[in-house]
Amino acid sequence: MDQKILPASASMKDFERFLESSYEIGVFLDLHISQLKNVSMMAKQHNKKMIYHVDLIHGIRSDEYATEFICQEYNPYGLISTKSNVILKAKQKGVIAIQRIF
C-alpha cells in the first residue's frame, strides 16, 4: 500500500468523489449517525477502507461504548478521536486508532 494521502470527506458529495478515486483509504468527517450504515455499505461496494472521526459523528456520544458499537456494526478500517478511552477501545477491537491532539 503506497497511499501517502488520506482524502477526507466532509459531505456526501466529497465521499462520492472519493469512491470514484484511486485511493483505497479515506477519512469521513462530520457525519450523522443515520448516514453510517449507508456510507459503510457504499465503501465496501467500492472496495474502500474508511476511517471515521468518532468525535464528529452527530447523534452518538464519543466514548468507549460508541466505539464498540461502531466497530461491531460497521467494521471500520480505523477511528480518529481526541479521547484516549476511544483510542484504547478501538485498539482492543483491532481497529487502527489515531489520536488527534491540539
Q: Which run of H or of E encompasses 10?
A: none
Which residue range forms the structural domain that includes residue 29?
8-99
What is the pLDDT at residue 97?
97
Q: Is residue 33 situated within a structural domain?
A: yes
The domain that holds 35 is classified in CATH as 3.20.20.70
Q: Is residue 1 situated within a structural domain?
A: no
Q: Which residue, chain included where needed, has cell 465503501?
A: 43
| Distance in angstroms (rounded) separating the CA atoms of residues 2 and 9 | 20
- Residue 25 pLDDT level (bands cut at 50, 70, 90): very high
Number of domains in the chain: 1
| Distance in angstroms (rounded) separating the CA atoms of residues 70 and 39 | 12
Average pLDDT score over residue span 82-94: 97
What is the pLDDT at residue 1?
61
C-alpha cell at 83: 479521547
Average pLDDT score over residue span 60-71: 95
Q: Which tens digits make up the pLDDT trace of 45-54? A: 999 999 999 9
Average pLDDT score over residue span 32-42: 96
Q: Which residue, chain included where needed, has cell 491532539?
A: 101
What is the pLDDT at residue 102?
84
**Contact, 59 vs 30, CB < 8 A?**
no
What is the pLDDT at residue 2?
82
